[in-house]
Structures are given as structure tokens and as C-alpha cells.
């Protein structure tokens, strides 16, 4: 039996209705996967529900499917993780976002810190946000989640500090005197703060601590941004979430 691909569709869905797939999905189904009439497809729309569907009409320019049934999987972590992530170059940032989605992060906040080697203008910021949102969609389709991780517009580190509301905020730093396992989680809401390749400046670390962030270390070795993000989220999910 053919494995049903999962597709995110940004529209309301109802069991029993027939819909036409958007053009970008048509190309994937018709030309990449080369699916045929009767082929199964699973749809998600960020509602927490997965819709089992099948193709009833297909050609080079359109794919029509019928939604047959729906199901809700409880695979969201009980731990709400907000990932404040200093923007890294190109594929490093893409990789971090992809893995954060797979590991169950709820919200991602890209920030520009003092040592960030990336500068973002209003136009490039919009383009990057769209690109990152597409990565989130692809990762969500792949990993089986029914909700999309949200991602904020890039902002300065100082701006983020003024907006942050989580009661437990952990900032990764090589000189952090605590480990994550020693932290007492105040609520099931956690913010992890990951620096750029150059880390955070002394002033930024001081500002973060003044705003309630606790400096922690992940061990004796210096980790790349994307490695630190994966390790920190994995540790948090093992301690307080659903990774076992």
C-alpha cells in the first residue's frame, strides 16, 4: 500500500468536501511523486487535525481530492519551548529551524546580536521570514506534527528582551555555572536563548541576566549554533517534555 504524503494546506477543511490543491502542491503530487487517481493524501492545516483524503482527478495542471475522514493525534509536547535563536548564515539557520520543528519547539524568535555576522534589512527580513516559514511547513509535513511552529520577524536582541514573558529563561554560555538539570522549571513554559557563532557579548549577557535569564552550560566543549540549539531543545524535552 502506498504511503500517503502529508501536505499543509492553508485553508479550512471539512470531511466529505472536495477541494482543488494549490498549484505548488499540484506540481509535487503530479510531477514529483507521480501519483494517480485513488492515491492517498493526508492534509493538515494547523488546526491540530489530520485529514485522510484521496485523489479523484489529476492532470498536469490540477489535482482534485476528496476528504474522507479526520483524526487528531496528541503528539505536541506538554512543554512549551520558545527558541530565541541568533540568526546564523544560510544553511546553518535553516538546519536549526528544521530540527527545532522536529523536536517540538512551539515558537522561534530570530534575533540579531552584537556578534551576529548577518545583517537584515526590511526587504531581506521579509524574504528570510518567508523562506523560514516554508522550512517549518516542510518539516511539519515530514515529522507528523499537526500544528505549525510559529516564527517571529527578526528583531534585535535588546528588543526581544523587552518583549519576553516566560518565567524560565535559559541563556547558553560557555561560562554558565549551572546545567539544565539543576534548573527548577516554574511553569511548563520555557525559553532557550542561543547565541551566534561569536556567542553573546558581556554586555548582552549582563542585560539578559538582569532580565531574568539564567546562564547555563551544555558541557566542556564549544558548540556551533545549530548543535547548541539541538542539544538544548533535546535536553529540555528529556527533562520536562516528551522525549524519552
For the chain, list the domains and their CATH numbers: 6-72 (2.40.240.20), 80-240 (3.40.1280.10)
Distance CA 232, CA 241 (A): 12
Q: Average of pLDDT values for 235-241?
A: 98
Q: pLDDT at position 135, please?
A: 98
Residue 54 has pLDDT above 70, yes or no: yes
Question: At which residue does the C-alpha cell 468536501 appear?
Answer: 17
Q: Quote the pTM value.
A: 0.93
Q: pLDDT at position 121, please?
A: 63
Q: pLDDT at position 2, please?
A: 64
- Please report, rounded to a whole number, the percentage of residues in the chain having pLDDT higher than 70: 97
Question: Model confidence at 123, in pLDDT bands (50, 70, 90)?
Answer: low
Given the DSSP bridges, would you call strands 50-58 and 63-71 parallel, antiparallel or unpaired? antiparallel
Task: Give me the residues paired with residue 239 across strands.
Answer: none
CB atoms within 10 A of CB 197: 15
Q: pLDDT at position 199, please?
A: 86
Of 154, 157, 162, 233, the closest CA to residue 192 belongs to 233
Q: Average of pLDDT values for 104-123?
A: 84
Distance CA 56, CA 29 (A): 13
C-alpha cell read off for 67: 476528504
Question: At which residue does the C-alpha cell 515558537 appear?
Answer: 107
Amino acid at each position: 500500500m502506498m504511503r500517503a504524503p502529508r501536505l499543509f494546506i492553508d485553508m479550512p477543511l471539512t470531511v466529505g468536501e472536495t477541494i482543488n490543491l494549490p498549484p505548488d502542491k499540484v506540481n509535487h503530487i503530479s510531477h514529483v511523486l507521480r501519483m494517480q487517481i485513488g492515491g492517498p493524501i493526508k492534509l493538515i492545516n494547523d488546526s491540530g487535525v489530520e485529514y485522510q483524503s484521496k485523489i479523484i482527478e489529476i492532470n498536469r495542471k490540477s489535482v482534485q481530492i476528496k476528504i474522507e475522514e479526520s483524526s487528531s493525534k496528541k503528539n505536541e509536547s506538554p512543554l512549551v519551548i520558545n527558541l530565541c535563536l541568533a540568526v546564523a548564515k544560510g544553511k546553518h539557520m535553516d538546519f536549526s529551524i528544521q530540527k527545532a520543528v522536529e523536536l517540538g519547539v512551539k515558537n522561534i524568535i530570530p534575533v540579531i546580536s552584537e556578534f551576529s555576522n548577518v545583517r537584515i534589512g526590511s526587504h531581506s527580513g521579509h524574504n528570510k521570514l518567508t523562506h523560514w516559514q516554508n522550512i517549518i511547513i516542510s518539516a511539519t509535513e515530514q515529522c507528523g506534527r499537526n500544528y505549525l511552529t510559529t516564527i517571529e520577524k527578526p528583531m534585535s536582541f535588546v528588543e526581544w528582551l523587552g518583549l519576553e514573558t516566560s518565567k524560565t529563561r535559559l541563556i547558553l554560555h560557555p561560562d554558565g555555572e549551572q546545567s539544565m538539570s539543576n534548573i527548577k522549571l516554574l511553569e511548563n513554559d520555557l525559553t532557550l536563548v542561543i547565541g551566534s557563532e561569536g556567542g553573546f557579548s558581556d554586555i548582552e549577557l549582563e542585560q539578559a541576566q538582569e532580565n531574568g535569564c539564567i546562564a547555563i552550560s551544555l558541557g566542556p566543549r564549544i558548540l556551533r549554533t545549530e548543535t547548541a540549539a539541538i542539544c538544548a531543545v533535546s535536553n529540555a524535552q528529556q527533562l520536562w517534555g516528551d522525549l524519552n
